[in-house]
């Protein structure tokens, strides 16, 4: 029996690319199914997909357990838009060959794509749990991707980052150092950002040139008040977007305290609607309104920033703005909320005393 051989249809595979299986067995009793499988694999690799489908179906008809046939047919079904059918074929493959890592990873990928993270976890855990770790590069690839997907799935649940790491067993120290490293880091980093793990997102996305990854890291750095690093990421972006202009405006405001300079860099439309950068835009708008003495506008902008998770200092600024706007009851209530969360805040305590 020859060694197992896997073939990636696209050498520049991403983490969402599925894995096709080559001829897994030779010298077996089912020589007809083996020949049909070999012809189908060759057809699939050359792009003759209809011929490949016919070949895989014929191989399965000759021997329902032909290794890899159901897996590869699943890829072709997926290309036709039949994701449920692809998942069923992968289940059939794994029933016959539960130790085939390509099929297990493919099913996990499809379940993750479908948003069925809990259903994907058993396959991911099984791939990660290979002991000892596989020596061949193909299976090591599948194991690394499984690590990344499991970490990402749990990061998106908003669990504390240490729980995510403990559950998946993956960290920057154990991330793969081969050609899939950048992709696994990106998957984990973007999931960490989605789960509001800003420190983790900034670390995992460090050095990733892909614009979406860079902007997620940029937003993480802004949220962490790491302004100098944020400026470096901003300067390295290949093209400016309204989002970038907004970040530039916020960084200018924090560095220079100059509202006019900051607002000159903020576009009139297409602002993000949530996250630390959206909050930054609202705080810039509030600062400009306060400069003009428009305390009602200041209050509205700061209240919106608070709803996006602004820190206690912003809530205290809201209390002051409400007091200037003449809404003393609302100002006192806001200052009291700050005191409940930060009992030692002297400015909040003084404001409450003045408003009582």
Alpha-carbon distance 133 to 240, whole Å? 43
pLDDT at 30: 60
Q: Is residue 340 part of a domain?
A: yes
86 within domain boundaries: no
Examine residue 44 and state whether it is found in any structural domain, yes or no: no
| Predicted pLDDT at 5 | 31
Mean pLDDT of 145-165: 74
Rounded Cα distance, 73 and 52, in Å:
8
Location of structure tokens 């209530």: 333
* Rounded Cα–Cα distance for residues 64 and 30 (Å): 11
Which stretch of DSSP H or E encloses residue 222? helix 211-223
For residue 339, the enclosing domain spans 240-356
Q: Is 134 helix (H, G, I), strand (E, B) or coil?
A: coil
Continuous segment of H or E residues that includes residue 7: strand 6-7
User: What is the per-residue pLDDT for 20?
Assistant: 60
For residue range 317-348, list pLDDT tens digits in order. Answer: 888 888 888 888 888 888 888 888 877 778 77
Q: Decide if 244 is inside a domain.
A: yes
- The residue ranking higher by pLDDT, 267 or 211, is 211
Please indicate, yes or no, if residue 196 is contained in any of the structural domains.
Answer: no
Query: In this predicted structure, what is the pLDDT of residue 188?
Result: 80
The CATH number of whichever domain residue 346 belongs to comes to 1.25.40.10
Q: What is the Cα–Cα distance from 182 to 191, expressed in whole angstroms? A: 14
CA separation, residue 289 to residues 255, 260, 304, 332 (Å): 19, 11, 14, 21
- Would the CA dihedral through 260, 264, 267, 272 be positive or negative? negative
Q: How many domains does the chain have?
A: 1
* Cβ-count burial 313-345 (b if 16+ within 10 Å, e if not): ebbbbbbbbbbbbebeebbbebbbbbbeebeeb
Q: Which residues contact 66 (CB under 8 A, 6 or more apart)?
A: 30, 33, 34, 36, 37, 59, 60
CB 184 within 8 A of CB 240: no
Is residue 15 within 8 Å of 187, Cβ to Cβ? Answer: yes
- Residue 203's nearest CA partner among 225, 186, 222 is 186
Q: What is the pLDDT of residues 199-250, one digit of tens each?
A: 988 998 988 888 888 999 998 998 888 999 999 999 898 877 777 887 888 8
pLDDT at 292: 84
pLDDT given for residue 136 in this prediction: 55
CA angle centred on 295, ends 331 and 246, rounded to 5°: 110
Task: Give the integer Cα–Cα distance in Å for 148 and 223.
Answer: 24
Enumerate residues 6+ apart whose C-beta is below 8 A from 127.
101, 104, 105, 108, 142, 143, 146
Q: Is 292 a domain residue?
A: yes
Q: In the 8-state DSSP scheme, what is residue 133?
A: P
* Long-range pairs for 291-294: beta carbons < 8 A, 24 or more residues apart: 291/259
3-state secondary structure of 267: coil
Domain membership of residue 175 (yes or no) is no
Give exposure, 32-64, as e/b (b: 16+ Cβ within 10 Å). ebbebbebbbebbeeeeeeebbebbebbbebbe
Between CA 266 and CA 180 the distance in angstroms is 37
What is the distance between the alpha carbons of residues 3 and 256, in angstroms, rounded to a whole number? 64
| 180 confidence band (pLDDT: 50, 70, 90) | low
Structure tokens that stand for 60 in this block: 């399965």
Higher pLDDT, 15 or 310: 310
The pLDDT-based confidence of 14 (bands split at 50, 70, 90) is very low
When the pLDDT of each residue in the chain is averaged and rounded to a whole number, the result is: 77
Measured CA to CA, the distance from residue 119 to residue 61 in angstroms comes to 29
Let me know if residue 277 belongs to a domain. yes
The DSSP 8-state label assigned to residue 20 in this structure reads E
């Amino acid at each position: 029996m020859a060694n197992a051989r896997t073939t990636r249809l696209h050498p520049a595979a991403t983490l969402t690319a599925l894995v096709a299986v080559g001829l897994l067995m030779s010298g077996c009793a089912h020589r007809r199914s083996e020949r049909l499988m070999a012809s189908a694999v060759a057809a699939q690799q050359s792009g003759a997909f209809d011929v490949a489908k016919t070949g895989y179906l014929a191989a399965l008809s000759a021997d329902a357990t032909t290794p890899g046939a159901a897996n590869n047919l699943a890829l072709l079904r997926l290309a036709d838009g039949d994701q449920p059918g692809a998942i069923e074929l992968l289940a059939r493959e794994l029933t016959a060959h539960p130790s085939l890592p390509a099929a297990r990873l493919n099913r996990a990928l499809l379940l993750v794509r479908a948003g069925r993270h809990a259903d994907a976890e058993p396959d991911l855990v099984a791939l990660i749990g290979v002991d000892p770790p596989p020596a061949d590069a193909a299976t090591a690839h599948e194991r690394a991707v499984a690590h990344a997907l499991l970490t990402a799935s749990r990061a998106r649940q908003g669990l504390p980052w240490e729980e995510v790491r403990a559950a998946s067993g993956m960290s920057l120290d154990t991330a793969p150092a081969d050609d899939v490293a950048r992709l696994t880091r990106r998957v984990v980093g973007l999931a960490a950002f989605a789960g509001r793990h800003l420190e983790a997102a900034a670390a995992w996305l460090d050095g990733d040139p892909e614009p979406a990854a860079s902007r997620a890291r940029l937003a993480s750095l802004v949220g962490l008040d790491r302004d100098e690093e944020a400026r470096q990421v901003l300067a390295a972006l290949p093209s400016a977007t309204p989002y970038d202009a907004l970040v530039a405006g916020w960084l200018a405001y924090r560095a220079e305290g100059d509202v006019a300079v900051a607002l000159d860099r903020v576009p009139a439309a297409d602002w993000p609607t949530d996250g630390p950068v959206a909050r930054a835009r609202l705080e810039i708008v509030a600062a400009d309104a306060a400069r003009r003495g428009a305390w009602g506008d200041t209050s509205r902008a700061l209240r919106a920033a608070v709803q996006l998770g602004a820190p206690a200092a912003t809530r205290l600024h809201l209390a002051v703005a409400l007091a200037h706007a003449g809404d003393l009851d609302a100002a006192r209530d806001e200052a009291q909320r700050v005191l409940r969360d930060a009992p030692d805040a002297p400015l909040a305590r003084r404001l409450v005393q003045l408003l009582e």
